């Protein structure tokens, strides 16, 4: 055995041929180690046999070796750090095989396999810290990474490096968000988007960036820009020269693209640097300012490089002040229908119309977040606030509303805009390219929120003049011809263009000094003639309402619809209107002479695309390719601007809907990711903290809205109610011409196409409005609500026609409940309160119950399910049944809020309930044929199975129920059959079932909400003291002391309290305070039904409440059956009051996957005793009333 050149007196004896008996040799990594192992005679043994002694000696030897290899003991038998340094070679890492042996001897193999299995199971998922994966990795490093063995291991070092990178990349370096109030909201000029040392990065008045390094020399023989435009870009004259977009992109997309382009690009066309400039604060700049004034400042971008709706909000504090409504200081509002940028006035009016919708949306959001006031830091009553407080509150609400409004804006870009660009609708897909997503991998995460600065190359790329539609071209020509009557567009120059713009601004009342709130909108109406070109009517203007300052909804909707129905132009060579010649030539000249941008091939190389070697590669049209060859000589000489827009365009297909030029198609996706991902306010600062909880949810996409998550339909629907049908293709896919989007739906499946409509007829408005008349506030019903409900039920079930007489359903319900004993209802309420009450603190006797969610909702839905025979078993089935019925009711009765999703939810809910009702109707039907006998038998069997199943589940689960008998269900359907048979023309089973479903949905929604809002009014906040509240509590206390809930006087007294409470706190704002003053009359539009009265009175005539719950007055008898018992039981609780904070407020819980919500309001009471016992029921629920709760007396 070879010895080493190194000598250590303890380890090696180079003159010894073999080790002594108490020593052993260990060979590893090319070295021989001498280790003391002790004497075998000293080992504790159980036998004196030599075999046992040898085995024991081997055991100790292995243990000593393992201790040497895998511990850091200071035992003299091990190596010190000095020893290790002398016997190891850092240039020769430990082999992987040695590491495996080491882990085997350490007993780590099972743990390692488990660690690997856990890690593999978490690939692509968030780390589950309950699996202790982090600890497993640390444990492996602790055993495999010990210093006391043969040398460093590359695998261990690599894993440790990745582990450190993982921990480092968990946090932003440097942080992208801080708590500075100045950084909470967007600034007018876009500064402070990047807070990590570059506050002016991407702000307005900064220099354009350069993306590509230009190194290719401009050939001296390249033609002038005018020749390039005429040969490559110019559209042939007449309508025959216009090429419609091959994929059916609408002109509204071009209008929206104009907003985006003007949002991030505004080249300084003068000679003086404006604002801060690139180095405005430097002394050098101040000294050279006079010199610069004689040159060009086209290197400066006057707007920010962020998608921040600058055309609406302005690019500076001064411009922003022109649109902020300081007359209502403290509310964060904009002037009605106003926007800051004059530049878009020269664009076709659809762009300005979209800005008006964003303006309305801002005010809608600002009013809502002030109304909710989630943090309680704002004041709705502004009268007692100082100017400083008003200004601060105004800025906070304004900044928050802008956040949410910009959330809509970026949602439209990522969903509607990119959805149309990529043509994902054709694939029936709601997939979206979302740059905001957190992207993590083993190497860390992709950066975000670092800011953005737009470049000159993309300034040229976004000059989309080719897709301008035929009538948009006519509109622009008509505006510019005011200054150039000859219409010789070759003669157009900067002065004439500015003159035409000045004339237009004067006509729109937008001349210098005029405030945006007084601007008009240009008229834009298109008549589609079929075969020939569409005809434009642009004579006149849209005026504002002198009182509100708003434009008419109908005018705005007309502009949007006409822009949606008109197809845009195609991209590609020879598609730019001639009227744009001067603008295009100016851009080409600036890019060549001042910006000195790269060539087309250099730009393609920058994007990783193949460079063009021939002109036919650039454009397969031989005439275009030959023309470009004559102009520039070689493909490498093709200038960027004309090369981008003259290049061959893509054909429509999945993944290509915009069909732009090939290079543009690749570049716009990269730019979209940079613009959105680099913006702090769309990534790290897009939180519920900066937007409020409601605002954050309001600007989220809904993938069940029929538009595959599109946000533009939501913007239109919220701000132009009743102007579109909810399933109109023009609403759901406004960036596609409707016949194309409808054809996509037909191509997906004929059944899917039935959910959409092409040019649907207008729908009537539903709801109510308040009108001042004769010194009183009258409430009007807008339409014949029952007629609309019947039509919507017909559509919901796909019936060719539908007769209806819902009154017989309500009469049958009244007949059944008039014969019922009311005591089970009271038992249910008490037992439900007991079951759902929670004692939160061991030191308090107070108990808390959600009276709306856990008592009121199950009471009403359980009662109705019992009568109509609907299954409502399961842990939360009563709440889910309420949601299903609410979906149906809202679909039938609501107008502005009706959506594609709501119709779908109502259809699903109805399909799950209607068959149960049909079974009950058929079970009571008379037998007139063999088929009828079979149907009745099957229905009776089905009803029996459902009854047994429901009662069994209720009994086993211990849930309180109103009854376990279904005699009332049978009585109801027998009464219903008798009333239906008595009609001259009885209803069919389908029609009768539809009326039953409509009735139970109306009863459930109105009674639950009526009861909850009555309690909300009768339980005033403990922080609000008023004479009315004191008087109200005194009358209730007096009634509780005098009357039982089952006595006639008591029932009447509690019902009057409930009716007054529901009247004054009605869930529909326009019906609050309703006192019915008119009898039933012939239905007509805008029918008056009553006046408003805010006084709480208990002596009103019962007829004044007849239409409180529903406009037909059918729900009141059922309300009167249930609610007095609820009022009595709630107010008989000792020291009953609202829970503190937001839990004590009446609000709604939105159930995931549903459109409806459940009311919630927590009450608190003393659980040790009650104010009044009810002897009749005390034995059944004595443990709730007068009990000793957990030792509390």
Integer Cα distance of 93 and 85 in angstroms = 13
Those residues with Cβ within 8 angstroms of residue 581's Cβ, 6 or more apart along the chain or in another chain: 226, 229, 230, 234, 489, 490, 492
**Cis geometry, peptide bond prior to residue 259 (ω within 30 degrees of 0):** no
* Cα atoms found within 13 Å of the Cα of residue 38, Cβ hemisphere only: 19
CB 1134 within 8 A of CB 1169: yes
Helix axes 785-797, 900-923, angle to 10 degrees: 80
Distance between CA atoms of residues 291 and 271, nearest Å: 10
434, 462, 459, 461: which is closest to 448 by C-alpha? Answer: 434
Strand ranges (E), 145-286: 206-207
Q: Which residue has the tokens 């890690």?
A: 119
542 is catalytic: no
- Collapse the DSSP code of 355 into the 3-class scheme (helix H, G, I; strand E, B; otherwise coil) and give the result: helix
Find where tokens 């927590």 sit.
Answer: 1162
How far apart, in whole angstroms, are the C-alpha atoms of residue 556 and residue 721?
A: 11
- Hey, what are 1094's tokens? 């805010």
Among the options 335, 408, 462, 1005, which is catalytic? 462
For residue 592, give the nearest of 841, 223, 305 by alpha carbon.
223
Strand order in the sheet with 1162-1166: 846-850, 1162-1166, 1137-1138
- Cα–Cα distance for residue pair 1188/1169, rounded to 1 Å: 8
Show binding-site residues. Answer: 465
Strands 1074-1076 and 1147-1150: unpaired
What DSSP character marks residue 708?
A: T
Residue among 348, 349, 321, 353 at smallest CA distance from 337 = 353
List Cβ neighbours of 890 (8 Å cut-off, separation of 6 or more).
897, 898, 902, 906, 1005, 1155, 1156
The pair of three-digit structure tokens given for residue 810, joined into one six-digit string: 């309500």
Name the strand (E) or helix (H) holding 536: strand 535-537
CB 1191 within 8 A of CB 1164: no
Neighbours of 388 (CB within 10 A): 8
Contact assessment for residue 999 and residue 810, using Cβ atoms and an 8 Å cutoff: yes
CA dist., res. 525 & res. 561, Å (int): 9
Count CA atoms within 13 Å of residue 834 on its CB side. 20
Annotated binding-site residues for heme b read: 465
Give me 802's structure tokens: 């539908």
Closest CA to 612 of 632, 596, 593: 632
Torsion of CA 118, 124, 125, 131, to 10 degrees: 10
Question: To which residue do tokens 């940028």 refer?
Answer: 341
Distance of CA 847 to CAs 960, 1031, 1136, 1183, 1189, Å? Answer: 20, 26, 10, 14, 9
Report the C-alpha gap between 1045 and 1043 in whole angstroms.
6
Say whether 750 sits in a helix, a strand or coil: helix
| Cα separation, 1174 vs 727, whole angstroms | 54
Closest CA to 672 of 463, 452, 456: 452
Q: Is 395 helix (H, G, I), strand (E, B) or coil?
A: helix
Q: Which residues contact 542 (CB under 8 A, 6 or more apart)?
A: 520, 521, 522, 523, 551, 552, 555, 556
Residues acting as catalytic residues: 462
């Amino acid at each position: 055995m070879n010895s080493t050149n190194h000598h250590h007196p303890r380890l090696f004896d180079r003159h010894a041929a073999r080790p002594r008996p108490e020593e052993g040799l260990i060979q590893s990594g090319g070295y021989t180690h001498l280790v003391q192992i002790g004497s075998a005679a000293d080992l504790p043994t159980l036998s004196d046999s030599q075999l046992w002694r040898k085995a024991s000696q081997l055991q100790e030897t292995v243990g000593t070796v393992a201790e040497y290899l895998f511990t850091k003991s200071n035992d003299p038998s091990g190596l010190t750090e000095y020893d290790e340094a002398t016997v190891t070679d850092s240039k020769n890492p430990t082999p992987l095989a040695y590491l495996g042996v080491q882990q085997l001897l350490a007993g780590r193999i099972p743990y390692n396999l488990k660690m690997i299995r856990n890690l593999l199971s978490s690939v692509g998922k968030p780390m589950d810290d309950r699996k202790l994966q982090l600890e497993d990795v640390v444990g492996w490093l602790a055993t495999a990474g010990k210093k006391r063995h043969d040398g460093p291991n590359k695998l261990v070092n690599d894993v440790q490096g990745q582990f450190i990178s993982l921990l480092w990349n968990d946090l932003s370096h440097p942080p992208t968000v801080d708590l500075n109030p100045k950084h909470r909201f967007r600034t007018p000029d876009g500064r402070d988007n990047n807070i990590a040392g570059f506050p002016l990065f991407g702000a307005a008045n900064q220099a354009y960036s350069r993306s590509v390094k230009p190194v290719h020399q401009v050939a001296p023989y390249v033609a002038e820009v005018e020749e390039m435009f005429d040969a490559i870009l110019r559209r042939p004259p007449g309508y025959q020269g216009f090429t419609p977009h091959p994929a059916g992109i609408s002109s509204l997309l071009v209008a929206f693209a104009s907003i985006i382009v003007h949002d991030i690009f505004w080249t300084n066309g003068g000679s003086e640097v404006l604002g801060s400039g690139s180095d405005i604060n430097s002394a050098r700049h101040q000294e050279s300012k006079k010199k610069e004034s004689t040159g060009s400042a086209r290197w400066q971008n006057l707007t920010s490089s962020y998608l921040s709706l600058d055309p609406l909000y302005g690019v500076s504090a001064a411009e922003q002040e022109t649109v902020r409504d300081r007359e209502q200081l403290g509310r964060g509002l904009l002037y009605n229908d106003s926007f800051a940028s004059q530049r878009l006035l020269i664009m076709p009016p659809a762009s300005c119309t979209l800005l008006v919708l964003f303006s309305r949306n801002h005010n809608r959001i600002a009013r809502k977040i002030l109304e909710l006031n989630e943090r309680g830091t704002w004041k709705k009553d502004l009268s007692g606030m100082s100017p400083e407080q008003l200004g601060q509150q105004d800025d906070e609400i304004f900044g928050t509303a802008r956040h949410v409004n910009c959330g809509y804006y970026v949602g439209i870009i990522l969903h509607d805009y990119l959805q149309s660009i990529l043509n994902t609708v054709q694939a029936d897909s709601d997939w979206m390219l979302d740059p905001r997503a957190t992207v993590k991998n083993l190497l860390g995460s992709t950066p975000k929120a670092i800011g953005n600065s737009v470049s000159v190359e993309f300034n040229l790329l976004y000059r989309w003049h080719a897709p301008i539609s035929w009538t948009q071209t006519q509109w622009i020509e008509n505006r510019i011809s005011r200054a150039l009557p000859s219409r010789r567009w070759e003669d157009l120059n900067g002065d004439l263009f500015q003159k035409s713009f000045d004339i237009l601004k004067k006509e729109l009342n937008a001349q210098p000094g005029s405030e945006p709130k007084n601007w008009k909108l240009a008229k834009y109406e298109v008549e589609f003639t079929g075969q020939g070109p569409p005809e434009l009517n642009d004579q006149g203007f849209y005026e504002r309402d002198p009182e509100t300052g708003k434009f008419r909804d109908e005018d705005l909707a007309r502009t949007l619809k006409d822009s949606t129905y008109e197809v845009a132009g195609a991209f590609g060579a020879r598609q730019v209107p001639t009227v744009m010649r001067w603008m295009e030539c100016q851009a080409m000249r600036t890019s060549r002479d001042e910006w000195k941008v790269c060539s087309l091939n250099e730009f393609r190389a920058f994007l990783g695309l193949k460079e063009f070697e021939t002109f036919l590669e650039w454009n397969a049209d031989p005439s275009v390719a030959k023309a470009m060859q004559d102009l520039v000589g070689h493909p490498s000489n093709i200038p960027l601007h004309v090369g981008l827009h003259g290049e061959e365009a893509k054909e429509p297909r999945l993944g290509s809907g915009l069909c732009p030029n090939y290079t543009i198609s690749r570049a716009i996706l990269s730019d979209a990711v940079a613009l959105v991902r680099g913006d702090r306010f769309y990534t790290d600062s897009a939180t519920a903290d900066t937007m409020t909880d409601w605002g954050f949810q309001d600007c989220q996409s809904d993938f069940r809205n029929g538009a595959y998550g599109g946000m533009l339909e939501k913007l239109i629907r919220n701000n132009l109610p009743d102007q579109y049908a909810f399933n109109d293709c023009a609403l759901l896919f406004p960036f596609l011409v409707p016949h194309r989007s409808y054809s996509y739906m037909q191509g997906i499946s004929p059944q899917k196409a039935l959910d959409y409509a092409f040019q649907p007829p207008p729908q009537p408005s539903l709801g109510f409005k308040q009108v001042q008349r004769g010194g009183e506030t009258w409430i009007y019903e807008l339409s014949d609500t029952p007629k609309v409900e019947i039509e919507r039920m017909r559509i919901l079930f796909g019936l060719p026609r539908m007769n209806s007489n819902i009154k017989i359903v309500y009469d049958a319900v009244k007949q059944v409940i008039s014969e019922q004993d009311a005591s089970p209802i009271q038992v249910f309420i008490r037992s439900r309160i007991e079951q759902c009450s929670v004692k939160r603190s061991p030191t308090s006797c107070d108990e808390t119950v959600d009276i709306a969610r856990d008592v009121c909702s199950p009471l009403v839905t359980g009662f109705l399910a019992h009568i109509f025979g609907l299954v409502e078993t399961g842990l939360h089935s009563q709440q889910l049944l309420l949601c299903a019925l609410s979906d149906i009711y809202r679909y039938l009765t609501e107008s502005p809020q009706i959506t594609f999703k709501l119709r779908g939810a109502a259809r699903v809910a109805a399909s799950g309930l209607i068959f149960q009702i049909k079974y009950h109707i058929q079970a009571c039907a008379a037998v007139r044929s063999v088929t009828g006998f079979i149907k009745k038998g099957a229905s009776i069997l089905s009803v029996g199975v459902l009854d047994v199943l429901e009662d069994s589940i209720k009994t086993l689960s211990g849930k309180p129920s109103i009854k376990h008998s279904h005699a009332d269900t049978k009585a109801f359907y027998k009464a219903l059959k008798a009333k239906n048979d008595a009609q001259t023309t009885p209803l069919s089973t389908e029609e009768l079932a539809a009326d039953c479903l409509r009735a139970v949905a109306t009863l459930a929604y109105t009674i639950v909400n009526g009861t909850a809002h009555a309690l909300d009014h009768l339980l005033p906040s403990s922080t609000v003291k008023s004479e009315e509240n004191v008087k109200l509590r005194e009358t209730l206390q007096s009634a509780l002391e005098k009357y039982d809930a089952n006595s006639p006087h008591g029932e009447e007294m509690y019902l009057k309290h409930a009716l007054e409470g529901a009247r004054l706190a009605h869930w529909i704002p326009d019906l609050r305070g309703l006192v019915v003053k008119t009898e039933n009359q012939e239905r007509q539009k805008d029918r008056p039904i009553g006046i408003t009265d805010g006084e709480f009175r208990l002596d009103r005539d019962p007829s004044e409440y007849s239409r409180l719950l529903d406009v037909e007055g059918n729900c009141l008898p059922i309300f009167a059956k249930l609610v007095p018992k609820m009022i009595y039981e709630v107010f008989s609780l000792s020291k009953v009051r609202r829970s503190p904070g937001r839990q004590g407020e009446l609000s709604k819980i939105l159930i995931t996957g549903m459109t409806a919500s459940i009311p919630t309001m927590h009450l608190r009471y003393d659980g040790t005793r009650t104010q009044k016992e009810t002897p009749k029921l005390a034995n059944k629920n004595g443990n709730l009333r007068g009990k000793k709760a957990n030792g509390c007396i």
